Amino acid sequence: MTNPLVPHQPVVVANPWETLRRFTAARIALGRAGGSLPTAPHLAFQLAHAQARDAVQLPLDQAGVASDLQTRGYQTVCLHSAAPDRATYLQRPDLGRRLAEPSRETLAALATHAAAPPELAFVIGDGLSARAIHENAVAFLDQIAPRLRAAGWHLGPVSLVAQARVAIGDEIGQVLGAAIVVILIGERPGLSSPDSLGAYLTYGPRIGVTDAQRNCISNIRAAGLSHEAAAHKLAYLLDEARRRKLSGVLLKDEAGTRLPLSAD
């Protein structure tokens, strides 16, 4: 029987170096239950992983995003990659880089009816996080739109693509005859970043372009690079790409952007 006069030993051993947490976001000084992870940090980890997993599995709300864009006056087209579902998409990156045949026909018909090929076409693809699109894509476009108008860009339709990898922008740009394509895509979710958007710019998009010919702006999200700062960077890159007729490593150094590992 427990003696009520003897205080209970704490069941979790706390670490006296918790103050070091201010130097790193790493999960240090978590304490221990025996030698194991105490319940609170264990569940905090499970939540972070659950949010990242949910972001990967969440379907892209094409109708909702299209409606938001149409309200703002954008011509939109809803497309699908050659990966029929999420499981296939995750195992066959090659299929996520190409349009499904019906989508290709839809886009080709749209291009045929256009008065002139666009200078710039935006593509919005779910990538590995539809949540990143839902939370960032339209807000980001709202930031960059005035800059594009001021610089006199002739925009093509905005393509909304489900089960998309970065390189699907190449085929879309090629079909539309666009000089430059920018794809906004959900990046691979990290434990603390389920909502991170990437923007990839490619001059002269066509099937088979390599990653060395792209520029990337990464980590666009509320807790990362702000929509405004990202729009500023992209507007700069777009102007330079148009002026110098190129993109990729030759623009990279001056713009200070880099290609991370993501939904390529």
Partner 1 sequence: MPVYRHTIGSTTYRFNGLGDLLAKASPARSGDQLAGIAAVDAAERVAAQMALADLPLTTFLNETVVPYASDDVTRLIIDTHQPAALAPVAHLTVGDFRNWLLGDTADATALAALAPGLTPEMAAAVSKLMRIQDLILVGHKCRVVTAFRNTIGLAGRMATRLQPNHPTDDPTGVAASILDGLLYGSGDAVIGINPASDSTAAVITLLRMLDDIIQSYRIPTQSCVLAHVTTQLEAITQGAPVDLVFQSIAGTQAANAGFGVTLDLLGEARDAALSLKRGTLGDNVMYFETGQGSALSANAHYGVDQQTLEARAYAVARHFKPLLVNTVVGFIGPEYLYNGKQIIRAGLEDHCCGKLLGLPMGCDVCYTNHAEADQDDMDVLLTLLGAAGCNYIMGIPGSDDIMLNYQTTSFHDALYIRQVLGLRPAPEFEAWLHQLGIFDGNNRAAVTSALPEPFVRTLAQLT
* Positions in the binding site for partner 1 (CB under 8 A): 13-17, 19-21, 23-30, 32, 34-37, 41, 45-46, 48-49, 52-53, 55-56, 90-94, 128, 188-192
Closest separation in Å from C-beta 100 to partner 1? 19
Q: Which two tokens stand for residue 226?
A: 């702000």
- Identify the bridge partners of residue 120 per DSSP, sorted by sequence position: 155, 180
- Residue placing its CB nearer to partner 1 in the complex, 97 or 233: 97
Q: Work out the number of other CB atoms within 10 angstroms of the CB of residue 61.
A: 16
Closest separation in Å from C-beta 197 to partner 1? 15
Beta carbons of 131 and 197 less than 8 angstroms apart: no
Closest separation in Å from C-beta 219 to partner 1? 10
Residue 109 main-chain phi, psi, to 5 deg:
-65, -40
- Residue placing its CB nearer to partner 1 in the complex, 158 or 167: 167
Beta carbons of 198 and 220 less than 8 angstroms apart: yes
Beta carbons of 170 and 208 less than 8 angstroms apart: yes
- Residue placing its CB nearer to partner 1 in the complex, 92 or 242: 92
- Residue placing its CB nearer to partner 1 in the complex, 183 or 238: 183
Closest separation in Å from C-beta 80 to partner 1? 19
- Residue placing its CB nearer to partner 1 in the complex, 153 or 200: 200
Report how far apart, in Å, the C-alpha atoms of 4 and of each of 7, 122, 163, 172 are: 7, 69, 61, 73
Closest separation in Å from C-beta 246 to partner 1? 24
